[in-house]
Amino acid sequence: MLQGSFKEQFPKNYRPLITELEAFWNNDIYSLFKEFAEDILQKYDLRFGIPLWTERYGWTYRIGKSGVYLVKGIRIGKTGFIVDGLEIDTREKYPLLLAYIEEIYQQNKEEFRKKIADKNARQAERNKARIAREKQEFSSIQSDILLDKYNIYCWPEKLDINKLNKLYMLDAKGIHDEVLADEIGLTLYLRCKYGKEDMERMERYVIRCHGCGRELAGQADFRQCSCGRQYSYREYRRSFRRNNMPTGAAAHIFAAFIKQWDAARSYNEKIVLIDTLLHEFHLSLISGATHRPVAMNFIDGTRSHVEQIISNLAGNL
């Protein structure tokens, strides 16, 4: 099949995902691009930002941190990607790119850090103003608020690590504890399902009451359910994030789990689904770089703590 140029294939109203770049490029270029994303993340904590549209080159890419960019205008061509005039179309050229990034990173390091610090300071100012505004709003509805009914959350529960370890330990001995596999799978399933559905609700400015399950719509931040519970829409969203409900860059992984779990019948199918899900990562949809493990959506703890738990599980079911 004859393919159009990058700009033709991905017009202004259609920003490419990393999976679509994979289809656009040959395998070598795609893996170089992903490797580049990983390398700058590991070495400099730099990430790909959201691509920018230009009339001349179509979507262009940029790398930076906290919304401050070190390199802009990275172009995509059929045979490679072009960083400040340097076209990376073979693996042989990749070391040149790394050397170039090292050079400009060192040259601009101080200025780059300062810009990020300034930006963070401005953000802190905005946060202060926001907190004051929210406090003001809160005091205006304070007489309606019942503290024991207000912003009481009950997100679907996370995994019990002892039970998870037990499932893997038994499995390694050849013992199939079907009840335990079902229990663990269901815990994952419910979090995936509510993560997806609650996110879809919140996109419509609707929340689900954690007391009775009713949907609470409206324009105002304050929501009162007929069961008596009360919520701030904003706080509800924040709680959803803080609880690490499954959503975001790995949403397609969670959606696939929901579908496959529904269809799974045998113990073996189920344990493979559980194991696969827990070993997945959130991948950047822009660059393919590996971010935090999906297991963090199901297990409490810091990234290194959760990684430790996952690597301690027998990974070869």
Residues in contact with Zn ion by the rule CB under 5 A: 209, 211-212, 214, 225, 227, 229
Closest to Zn ion by CB, 77 or 211: 211
Closest to Zn ion by CB, 65 or 208: 208
Q: Kindly give the pairing relationship between strand 58-65 and strand 80-83.
A: unpaired
Burial of 32 (0-12, 13-18, 19+ CB in 10 A): buried
Q: In angstroms, give the least distance from the CB of 208 to Zn ion.
A: 9
Q: In angstroms, give the least distance from the CB of 151 to Zn ion.
A: 13
Closest to Zn ion by CB, 211 or 301: 211
Closest to Zn ion by CB, 126 or 214: 214
Closest to Zn ion by CB, 186 or 220: 220
Contact 269, 178 (CB under 8 A): no
Closest to Zn ion by CB, 63 or 225: 225
User: CB within 8 A of 240, min separation 6: which ones?
Assistant: 155, 198, 199, 202, 247
Q: In angstroms, give the least distance from the CB of 214 to Zn ion.
A: 5
Q: In angstroms, give the least distance from the CB of 211 to Zn ion.
A: 4
Q: In angstroms, give the least distance from the CB of 39 to Zn ion.
A: 49
**Element holding 54 (H helix, E strand):** strand 52-54
Q: Which long-range contacts (CB under 8 A, 24 or more apart) does 32-38 make?
A: 32/80, 32/81, 32/88, 32/91, 32/94, 33/81, 33/287, 33/288, 34/287, 34/288, 34/289, 35/94, 36/88, 36/94, 36/97, 36/287, 37/284, 37/287, 37/288, 37/289, 38/289, 38/290
User: CB within 8 A of 252, min separation 6: which ones?
Assistant: none
Q: In angstroms, give the least distance from the CB of 218 to Zn ion.
A: 14
